[in-house]
Structures are given as C-alpha cells and as structure tokens.
Amino acid sequence: MAIAAWRLAQRWCPSFPVVQLHMNRAAMTASQKDFENAMNQVKLLKKDPGNEVKLKLYALYKQATEGPCNMPKPGVFDLINKAKWDAWNTLGSLPKETARQNYVDLVSSLSSSLESSSQVEPGTDRKSTGYETLMVTSEGGITKITLNRPAKKNAINVEMYHEIMRALKAASKDDSSITVLTGNGDYYSSGNDLTNFTDIPPGGVEEKAKNSAILLREFVGCFIDFPKPLIAVVNGPAVGISVTILGLFDVVYASDRATFHTPFSHLGQSPEGCSSYTFLKIMGPAKATEMLVFGKKLTAGEACAQGLVTAVFPDSTFQKEVWTRLKAFAKLPPNAMRISKEVIRNREKEKLHAVNAEECSVLQERWLSDECMNAVVNFLSRKSKL
Ligand SMILES: CCCC/C=C/CC(=O)SCCNC(=O)CCNC(=O)[C@H](O)C(C)(C)COP(=O)(O)OP(=O)(O)OC[C@H]1O[C@@H](n2cnc3c(N)ncnc32)[C@H](O)[C@@H]1OP(=O)(O)O
C-alpha cells in the first residue's frame, strides 16, 4: 500500500522523492494544524507557483479533505474543471493522511524554493537567480539563457514567456557582447505549453485568447528589437514557436539530433513569430508552405539546406564545437557587432512589427476555433501527440 502511494505520488509530483525524504526523516504524518498552517502559507506565497503546482495543491487538498475523486468527469470543453478533475483523479486511492502530509511538504518545499530563488547567490555575479523556468549565466562576454523545464521538454508556459522577456531585456543592457538561447535536456523546446490554454480568466475564453495574443506580441517583439547578436544553440527537437522565432535570430547552430516542426494546421492554429514573413524570405514560399501549412518536420540537415539553420554539428561534438566558435565571437569588439546588426536588421524592423501584430490578431481568432480547442483537448487528455 505504501509503495503504491509512493508510486502514485511520484507521478503527480516530480519533487516527491525530496518530499518523501523529509517524510522518512520525520517519520510522522502532518496534523490537522500543520495542514491548516500550510493552507494559510499558500495564500501568503509572494509568487504565483504556476498552474502545474496549483493543480497538484488542489488535488492533494481535495484528496486530504474528501478522499478519492468520485465526481463525474467534466465535459471536454470545460477545460479548467477537467484539468482539476484529472489532477485529483490521478491520486487514485492515496490515503487522506498521506495526501495531507504531501500537501504540507509540497507547500514547505515551495515556500523555500520561491524564497531562495529570489536571493542573490553570494560571491558570484555570473549566475542570475530569480528565474523559475530558466538558467541565466553571463561569462566571458556571453549571456546564456537556458530553457529549463526538461521534464516538460522545455514547453514554454506563461511564466517562461515572461522570464525570457525579462532575461532578454537584462541581456540587452548587461556587459556581454552576444546572447545565446538554448535548452536543458533532450529537447530544445516543445513550443507553447498547451496547458496555457487551461487557465481561463473570469472573462472566459475570449479574454484568454486576447491576453495570449498580447503576450505573444510582446514576446516576439522582444526578439525583433533585441540589439546584440542573438544565437540559438538548438540542442534537440524544436517545435512551434521555438522554431518560428529562429527567423529572428542572427545565427542558428543545431545538433544533428535537432528537428524543426511547426504543426500549426494539426493544432488548428496559424504561424507566428513573424515566420509568415521570415520563412518565406529564408526558404521561399513553397518550402515555407510545406513547413507552416502542411507541418513538414525538417531534420537539422534539411533546415540547414533551407537556410533556417546556419550550421549542423554531430551531437557528440556539438557543445564543444559550438562553444569554441561562440567564445571567439564574444571576443570581437562589441560595439562594432551591435552596430553591424543594426545595419543588417533595422530596415526590416517596422515590417516585422507589423507582421507580428497581424499574426497575433489572426491567432487570437484561431484559438477560439473548434479545430484548435479539439487539438488542445486531445493532447491534454493524452489522445494525441505530435
Ligand atoms: C501564448 C502564446 C502562444 C504561442 C503559440 C505557439 C504555438 C506553438 O508553439 S504550437 C506547438 C505546441 N506544442 C505541441 O503541440 C507539442 C506537444 N507535445 C508533444 O506532442 C509531445 O510531448 C512531444 C512530441 C513534444 C514529446 O513527446 P515524448 O513522448 O517524447 O514526451 P512526453 O511524454 O509527451 O512529454 C514529457 C512531458 O512533457 C509534457 N509536454 C511536452 N510538450 C508539451 C507542451 N507543448 N505543452 C504541455 N506539456 C508538454 C508532456 O505532457 C509530458 O508531461 P507529463 O510527464 O506530465 O505527462
């Protein structure tokens, strides 16, 4: 029974082994008082812990107070309640006491991780803390922004969109010469986190679509306006928005393990990241249509042949070869590089902002379509994958 509960808990809470350690050490279950304290602590958290954690907290709370989920499953379009139901239902027959303890432990690990992430690491000015979804370092003239949700294939949730914008703004002002974006783990990024669509505000799906279009426009705008050389180090497969914005990078290096996939039609969506303009310029309309309309997945070699990728390296030597080049670039005079980028890119900026605005407004409509909603529901209910 205890092993079953442990396995179950591991499934819904990746940090569970850590939590479990605390439990074993303390060899006790949380009292009702601990549980109530934890509930109060949640209200005091200074930072939003994100949807995934909120769903875990919800599920554990329900399990601890009501026991196993025996409510009828909400309809497919009732996205929020369905996500909540799924989270609770996943806990199966986890005993109430264990759920209560796990709730207390999760809140405690959450409070300490959110507190510590806002503290500056003593004795170093190289690693920027205060990011939940990224690792940001600055060293030897290179600011490196690493997408850091490997367990989710570096899917970009709302928090990550905001953090990337924050990191880019900081990098544009710091003393580095070049900026690099890469991914931690086996993926570069699986694109937009599809659970972003489940957090529906009081104004309903229309408000959600409007807010998402505003966020997307601002996000892509940061790439259009980024003033220093921006290099993508594509360490593995890239999907959706992580591919489209590559057209706004100055150089794209890829491992031969990387693939480039923009399955917008499959998802009932349409191109973003200015790809409806940049991809046509880079690879011509027919190849761009194969990717953006028909969702053709390119190998790194194909993406390189089509001009989206600058160079491809064998995965075994990828990091070594790429970083040797990047370190050499970072030694070049920074002002000359910035000004050259300005000369190359500036005349396109106005056009790119106009394209970005148009793409976002088309997408705002698309997100409300049955085609898009069905695709998201199918992914979230584990019925489909790319
Ligand atoms: C607000 C601005 C909006 C801008 C819009 C942009 C458009 C796009 O970016 S469209 C592209 C959207 N991305 C996808 O459709 C990818 C969906 N993911 C998949 O099809 C598969 O996960 C994968 C092919 C990428 C990987 O498959 P694999 O079998 O290797 O791994 P999984 O077990 O599926 O993944 C591990 C883990 O990660 C979760 N996950 C992966 N990608 C996403 C994602 N894009 N959104 C949400 N969650 C994702 C996956 O569910 C697994 O989670 P669990 O371990 O909890 O089951």
What CATH number has the domain bearing residue 39? 1.20.80.10
pTM above 0.80, yes or no: no
The 10s digit of each residue's pLDDT in 80-115 is 888 888 889 888 888 898 889 888 878 877 775 554
- In this prediction, residue 29 has a pLDDT band, given cuts at 50, 70 and 90, of low
185 is a domain residue:
yes
Integer angstrom CA distances of residue 65 from 62, 91, 111 = 5, 13, 22
Based on the fold, state whether residues 273 and 182 are members of the same structural domain: yes
Based on the fold, state whether residues 250 and 283 are members of the same structural domain: yes
ipTM more than 0.90? yes
The 10s digit of each residue's pLDDT in 186-210 is 999 999 999 998 889 999 999 999 9
118 is a domain residue:
no
Based on the fold, state whether residues 55 and 183 are members of the same structural domain: no
Query: Can you give the pLDDT at residue 113?
Result: 54
128 is a domain residue:
no
59 is a domain residue:
yes
Based on the fold, state whether residues 89 and 193 are members of the same structural domain: no
Cα–Cα distance for residue pair 295/272, rounded to 1 Å:
14
Query: Can you give the pLDDT at residue 21?
Result: 29
Whether the pLDDT of residue 377 is over 70: the answer is: yes
Query: Can you give the pLDDT at residue 3?
Result: 29
Query: Can you give the pLDDT at residue 318?
Result: 98
Query: Can you give the pLDDT at residue 298?
Result: 98
The ligand 1 atom nearest the CA atom of 196? 1
Question: Around Cβ 73, how many Cβ atoms within 10 Å?
Answer: 13
Token digits for 52?
């995934």
Based on the fold, state whether residues 179 and 36 are members of the same structural domain: no
CATH number of 224's domain: 3.90.226.10
Residues framing ligand 1 (Cβ under 6 A): 152-153, 155, 190-196, 212, 215-216, 239-241, 267, 269, 272, 379, 385-386
Based on the fold, state whether residues 243 and 335 are members of the same structural domain: yes
Cα–Cα distance for residue pair 272/32, rounded to 1 Å:
49
Domain finish residue from 78, 111, 144: 111
23 is a domain residue:
no
Based on the fold, state whether residues 298 and 363 are members of the same structural domain: yes
Query: Can you give the pLDDT at residue 323?
Result: 98
The ligand 1 atom nearest the CA atom of 375? 15
123 is a domain residue:
no
129 is a domain residue:
no
Whether the pLDDT of residue 8 is over 70: the answer is: no
Site to probe by mutation for ligand 1, drawn from 12, 153, 372 as the one with most ligand atoms within 8 Å of Cβ, is 153
For the chain, the maximum distance between any two Cα atoms, rounded to a whole number of angstroms, is 67
Range scoring the smallest mean pLDDT among 126-140, 250-264, 273-287: 126-140
Cα(52) to ligand 1 centroid in Å equals 14
- In this prediction, residue 278 has a pLDDT band, given cuts at 50, 70 and 90, of very high
Integer angstrom CA distances of residue 11 from 25, 26, 149, 367, 377 = 22, 22, 16, 30, 21
Domain finish residue from 58, 77, 111: 111
Cα(256) to ligand 1 centroid in Å equals 21
Question: Around Cβ 361, how many Cβ atoms within 10 Å?
Answer: 12
Based on the fold, state whether residues 106 and 139 are members of the same structural domain: no
Summarize the confidence of residues 226-247 as an average pLDDT.
Answer: 98
Query: Can you give the pLDDT at residue 123?
Result: 34
Based on the fold, state whether residues 160 and 50 are members of the same structural domain: no
- In this prediction, residue 137 has a pLDDT band, given cuts at 50, 70 and 90, of very high
Based on the fold, state whether residues 72 and 140 are members of the same structural domain: no
CA–chain centroid gap for 203, Å, is 24
Based on the fold, state whether residues 102 and 156 are members of the same structural domain: no
Query: Can you give the pLDDT at residue 22?
Result: 35
Range scoring the smallest mean pLDDT among 117-126, 223-232, 244-253, 279-288: 117-126
Placement of tokens 């070869």 in the chain: 321
Summarize the confidence of residues 338-355 as an average pLDDT.
Answer: 97
Query: Can you give the pLDDT at residue 145?
Result: 98
116 is a domain residue:
no
Ligand 1 atom 25: residue of nearest CA:
190
Number of domains in the chain: 2
Based on the fold, state whether residues 106 and 152 are members of the same structural domain: no
Domain finish residue from 111, 143, 161: 111
Determine the structural domain holding residue 92 and report its residue range: 32-111
Percentage of the chain with pLDDT > 70?
A: 88
Helix residue spans in the chain (DSSP H)? 2-12, 16-26, 32-44, 51-66, 79-89, 96-117, 158-173, 204-225, 241-244, 275-292, 300-305, 318-329, 334-366, 370-380
Summarize the confidence of residues 347-352 as an average pLDDT.
Answer: 97
Query: Can you give the pLDDT at residue 19?
Result: 32
Cα–Cα distance for residue pair 380/308, rounded to 1 Å:
30
Token digits for 266?
């499959």
